[in-house]
Structure 1
Amino acid sequence: MSIAGASDIPALRVQKTGQFPGLRYGELVERRALRQPLRAAIIHEGAHITYGELLERIHAAAAFLTTQGVRPGDRVVCVSENRPEILTALYACSRIGAVFTPIGIAAPAADVKFILRDLSATTVLVSERSVSTALEAVGTDTEVSIIQLEAESRHGLPSIPVKTAAKVGEIQPEADSPAIIIYTSGTAGHPKGVVLTHSALFFNGVNTLLGLDIASDDVTLVNTPLSHIAALNTLAVATLHKGGSVVIDSKFDAIRCLEQISEYGITTMFAVPSMLTLMAQSPGFAQADTSSLRWILGGGAPMPPELVALWSARSVPVLASYGMTEAGPSISFRRRTDASGKAESSGTPALLTDVRIVSADGTVLPTGETGEILVRGPHTASTYWRDAKATEAAFVDGWLITGDRGLIDADGDLCITGRSKEIIITGGENVDPAEIEHLIASYPGILDAAVVGRPDPLWGEVITAVIVSESNVELNELQDYLRPHLARFKLPRQIERREELPRSPVGKLLRRELSILPPDNS
């Protein structure tokens, strides 16, 4: 019997010119609002926004952005902490044919500036907290408009209203036209823009709703950044498609998270391992009421078996999953009834996803053998934005080369065994070491530098700078030097000093040899 990914499985494709109801990203949410306008769609800081009000806000934002000169095909960047206006702006952009790119509040101005230029963006949406970052990123560029998400601005900026009498028609997109571009860690020291089309996002939604037990009365908690595809598409959007309620918090706080689970009767949420560990270490965890939780979707990094067992003891299954931005992100999910067993499994591939395990020469490997994981499906990205080289390397003959290694076991489950790429995963965040190495190398007195991830029980990996220097370099000094250029989670937390770094005869860094700690790590 063949398994997912075997060559005899036909690829599901959408005609490039095809249009159908629900194709446009956000259209299903609008349709849901017409069917249940009075139900709570979003809850934020205690305030409830009904589906009808959400639809009204989408229409108002779409009309306003049009008056501000946003046209079909324009790229609109949004820099903000988690707040309802992100979803409003996202769906408004989709409605008028613009392409939306969310950026988290932790991004430094240098990253925002790079993305604005890479996209040739026309508009940047900001919150009260991100105004200064956006102003620094935009600088003197008069081609980029700055608009505030909140209905009132203290900075004299145009701001998006929640109501309007103006009407604006909707754009019916082609299936292969871009809807969102999400930036993820690259391999050349700068992020890459992952282009997700309307059809890819539609079929990711189908995959997610078929793969996860999401119910129409679910209340999901979203406290990881909506700039990440998992928070945005796996739970927030899917729950709205199903008609449930989304509780949005601006950031994760372990104690607050436990309080919200009880306060709002949270039934589902997404968490990376460090979040679950911090909650378990919080005072009062033993007495916390988590009885409303039906399951927690785990992702971002391998989930330790003992952590799964701890939450299972509270009758809360932690469902391992595997996904990546380039896949929209859904690739595989565990069933709720399987959560407590076989910790190495990430579940079966989603129904519209083909998974293939190949050797170094591209040969398809049989059940149980470990190799490179390839993914194919109508939900995968079409390209990297303006990066033909990266696109050619990652998308081959319709298959996405994930950069991860694994196997498919006898049960048909996908088991992740490691990474082929050099990406570091810390607290569920992907970090490209090349980006940090480039900056460290410019620090006075540092002669050579490498960045690696060291195992850590809480964060999975901690970013470690391995340096060769003329004089002593203190960690806090290096962090201060890097802070204006890097998001906080990318800052090194450790320094290792060596006489020299391992390199090949042609000077290539032998990063794997750095996984061995030196005898003297002082």
Structure 2
Amino acid sequence: MLSVFDQGPPPPCPAPFNMAAYVLAHAESQPDKIALSVVSPTRSERWSYGRLRDAVLGTGAGLLARGLRPGDRVVMRLGNSVEFPIAYLGAIAVGIVPVPTSAMLTAGEVARIVDDIAPGAILRDPEIASPDAPGVPEIGLERLVAMRDLPGAPYAMGDPEREAYIVQTSGTAGRPRAVAHAHRAIWARRMMHDGWYGIGGQDRLCHAGAFNWTYTLGTGLMDPWSVGASALIPAPGVEIAALPLLLRRHQATIFAAAPGVYRKILAAQNEILLPDLRHGLSAGEKLSDAIREGWHKATGTAIYEAFGMSECSTFISASPEAPAPAHSLGRPQAGRRVAIVDDAGPVEIGTEGVIAVSSRDPGLMLGYVGAETETRARFAGEWFLTGDLGQMDADFNITYKGRADDMMNAGGYRVSPLEVEHALSRFPGIGAVGVAEVEVKRDARVIAAFYTAEETIDEAALAGFAAANLARYKQPRIWRRLDTLPTGPNGKLSRRALRALMED
């Protein structure tokens, strides 16, 4: 028996279609229901479905009035605030393509994104780093906020295959890539509603992430709104230690976070009273058994894990209806076609290989922008190769076996070591440099940098250089000088040996 899961395709995406119209459809039937609460220990900011829809369509009208046209791309340099999802959906509503970016990126990193995608404008909070981009107009935060009150534009309905939004991911060659997704991607996420969330219109889902993180945009906002649920997002500055209080006070029924957030909550509290919580969700990096078991002991609820990536949102998961066996990610969601493959194709059940998703999956990317060769290299026949290793059992449960390459995971963000090494190699006086993800304590991993130089370099200088050239999540937290960097038999840098150095 081959390691292939296929129980039939999902219902096709309707046409014509618009992602924003689909997400905000419940504004028509329940305009007064609370769609979003931005919560803190002292206050809450509430948005009804009707108010949210009006702000989105007003923003769309304002973008068109600024001369942007359907198909144009806009880079989003906005902070952790409600302006982010409103601008994101406002662009999509009228056929403009938003490019959400992390506020942690440096101006130099954003400059490369601008070069790659040739945007028609940059949506800009003046507090967020942004490059000088001659010929690319900026639309400031004040103007964006004022657009909410404009008469709303109609939704731009069209082919569900057309480009809807672009997200960033680390490229395997060390250069971040822009990943283009179609409007149909949100329709494909319906497979997650039962296959991971167990969500309905009565739910109150709290996501611990910032508005401007793609994990929050999808799991914390777009999906709850798609089913008419209420989204709860912690206000900027809320400490992780305050999250249990907010979950209890605002009667959250589902909690979503990266594993590191669960770990920090458990480190601060042994017993957590959450009477309304049914379960938690985890994605972004591997959830450890210690965190899973600790959360269940502290709250009496389970955490359901999911596996996905920028190129195809979560497609393997556990759920309330199908809990995962010990050490397993879960199984592919109903409607997916997923396999474990090697160079010859799908492998036998129980054999380790690369996790792959069919090119027919409606949630799969359109491709890497301006990188057709790299796009083709990610496919083997019908299979999109994730670069992650796994093993499927006879019940289609998949056990994660790690990366097939050296890609690192920093707090839920995938980071190419080549990108970090390239940036650090420009530091004056540094020789060779190699980076690796290392475990500094149980369930806590950071990026470590190893370098050669005539003498040890001041760590503050190295850290300052990294901060000026790399987003915070890409910056090494450990620096170590070596006489030589370890290599394998082929003379290439051995990252496994670098990791082993930290275990000595």
Q: Deviations over 1:460-509 (max 9, x none)?
A: 42101111111112322211111111111211111232221233576532
Q: 1:456 to 1:437 in 2, by over 3 A?
A: same
1:343 alignment partner, SS class: coil
Matched, 1:267 2:260: no
Pair 194,518 (structure 1): closer, same or farther in 2 beyond 3 Å: closer
Mean Cα deviation higher: 167-176 or 504-513: 504-513
Count of aligned pairs: 496
Alignment match, 1:474: 458
User: Which residue, out of 176, 188, 191, partners 1:191?
Assistant: 176
Q: Residue 100 and residue 293 in structure 1: after superposition, are their counterparts in 2 closer, same or farther (change >3 A)?
A: same
Match of 1:396 among 380, 397, 416: 380
Task: Determine if contact 1:173/1:198 at 8 Å carries over to the other structure.
Answer: no
1:442 and 2:437 correspond: no
Quote the Cα distance in structure 1 between the aligned partners of 2:502 and 2:232: 47
Give distance in 2, aligned partners of 1:355 and 1:251. 40
The AA in structure 1 aligned to 2:37 is I
Report if aligned partners of 2:174, 2:419 keep a CA contact under 8 Å in 1: yes
- Matching residue of 1:142: 135
Alpha-carbon contact 1:123-1:147 (below 8 Å) kept: no
Q: Which runs of 5+ in 2 are unaligned?
A: none
Please tell me whether residue 91 in structure 1 is matched to residue 89 in structure 2: yes
Partner of 1:34: 28
Q: Does 1:127 align with 2:125?
A: yes
**Secondary structure of the corresponding residue to residue 326 of structure 2:** coil
Paired residue type of 1:222: H
Q: RMSD between aligned alpha carbons?
A: 2.4
- The answer (yes or no) to whether the contact 1:407–1:415 under 8 Å persists in 2 is yes
**What is the CA deviation profile of residues 348-402 of structure 1, one whole-angstrom value per residue up to 9, with x for unaligned ones?**
101122111112x233211111111111212111201111222011133332110
- Cα shift at 1:83: 2.2
Q: CA deviation at 1:426?
A: 2.3
In structure 1, how many angstroms separate the alpha carbons of the residues matched to 2:322 and 2:189? Answer: 23
The separation in 1 between residues aligned to 2:154 and 2:468, in whole angstroms, is 42
Alpha-carbon distance change, 290 to 12 in structure 1, aligned in 2, over 3 angstroms: closer
- Over the matched positions of the two proteins, sequence identity in percent amounts to 25
Q: Does 1:81 align with 2:79?
A: yes
Q: Helix, strand or coil: the match of 1:372?
A: strand
Question: 2:205 matched to which residue of 1?
Answer: 220
Q: Give the Cα separation in 2 of the matches to 1:515 and 1:177.
A: 43
Instruction: Give the distance between the partners of 1:75 and 1:287, measured in 2 at CA.
Output: 47
Which deviates the most, 379-388 or 229-238? 229-238
Task: Select the residue among 387, 393, 410 that pairs with 2:371.
Answer: 387
1:20 is aligned to 15
Amino acid at match of 1:88: I
Structure 1: gaps spanning 5 or more residues: none
Paired amino acid for 1:267: T
Tell me which residue corresponds to 2:326: 343
Matched, 1:412 2:399: no
Letter in 2 for 1:378: P
Asked if the contact 2:423/2:470 (under 8 Å) is kept, the reply is no
Seen in structure 2, the aligned counterparts of structure 1 residues 121 and 160 have a Cα distance that, compared at 3 Å, is farther
Checking the alignment, whether the CA contact within 8 Å between 2:278 and 2:301 is kept in structure 1 is yes
Among 217, 233, 248, the alignment partner of 1:232 is 217
Residues 489-500 of structure 1: matches in 2 within 5 Å? 489-500=473-484
Match for 1:366: what amino acid?
E
3-state SS of 2:461 partner = helix
Residue 340 (structure 2) aligns with: 357
Cα shift at 1:79? 1.9
Kindly provide the CA deviation profile for residues 312-357 of structure 1, in whole angstroms up to 9, marking residues without a partner as x.
Answer: 1221211111111111x12111123665x63311111011221111
Following TM superposition, by how much is the alpha carbon of 1:209 offset from its aligned partner in structure 2, in angstroms?
4.5
Q: Distance in 2 between matches of 1:500 and 1:258?
A: 47
Equivalent position amino acid for 1:346 in 2: L
TM-score, normalisation: structure 1: 0.89
What's 2:301 paired with? 316
Corresponding residue number in structure 2 for 1:56: 54
Q: Is the 8 A contact 1:274 1:458 kept in 2?
A: no
Equivalent position of 1:366 in the other structure:
348
Q: Is the 8 A contact 2:2 2:347 kept in 1?
A: no
Aligned counterparts of 2:395 and 2:238: Cα–Cα separation in 1: 35
Worse overlay, 372-381 or 250-259: 250-259
CA shift digits 1:154-211 (9 cap, x unpaired): xxx56443222x3423322212211110001123332111111011332123444554
Which residue in the other structure is 1:170 paired with? 155
Out of 203, 212, 237, which is 2:188 matched to? 203
Q: Deviations over 1:82-136 (max 9, x none)?
A: 3222222122111211111111221111122221221111122233532xx13xx
Structure 1 pair 243/321, CA: closer, same or farther in 2 (3 Å)? Answer: same
Change (3 A) 1:458 1:48: farther
1:425 aligns with 2:423: no
SS in 1 for 2:181: strand
Report the Cα distance in structure 2 between the residues aligned to 1:39 and 1:105, rounded to whole angstroms. 30
Task: Give the deviation of 1:280 after TM superposition.
Answer: 1.0
Partner of 2:497: 513
Counterparts of 1:252 and 1:101, CA distance in 2: 26
Using the alignment, how far apart are the partners of 1:205 and 1:316 within structure 2?
24
> Which of 95, 101, 107 does residue 99 from structure 2 map onto?
101
1:4-48 deviation line (CA, Å, top 9, x unaligned) = 447xx776796xxx8526x31111233210011010001124111
Q: Secondary structure at the match of 1:465?
A: strand
TM-score (norm 2): 0.92
Q: CA, structure 1 residues 243+508, in 2 after alignment: closer, same or farther (shift >3 Å)?
A: same
Q: Do the aligned partners of residues 158 and 338 (structure 1) sit closer, same or farther apart at CA in structure 2, a change above 3 Å counting?
A: closer
* Residues 338 and 26 of structure 1: CA distance in aligned 2, closer, same or farther (over 3 Å): same
Deviations 1:392-444 (A, max 9, x none): 11133332110000111132211111111211112222111111101221212
Relative distance call for 1:407 and 1:504 in structure 2 (3 A) is: closer
Tell me, yes or no, if the aligned pair for 1:104 and 1:225 is still in contact at 8 Å. no
User: What is the match of residue 242 of structure 2?
Assistant: 256
Whichever residue aligns with residue 103 of structure 1, its letter is T
Does the C-alpha gap of structure 1 residues 290 and 455 become closer, same or farther in structure 2, counting only changes over 3 Å?
A: same
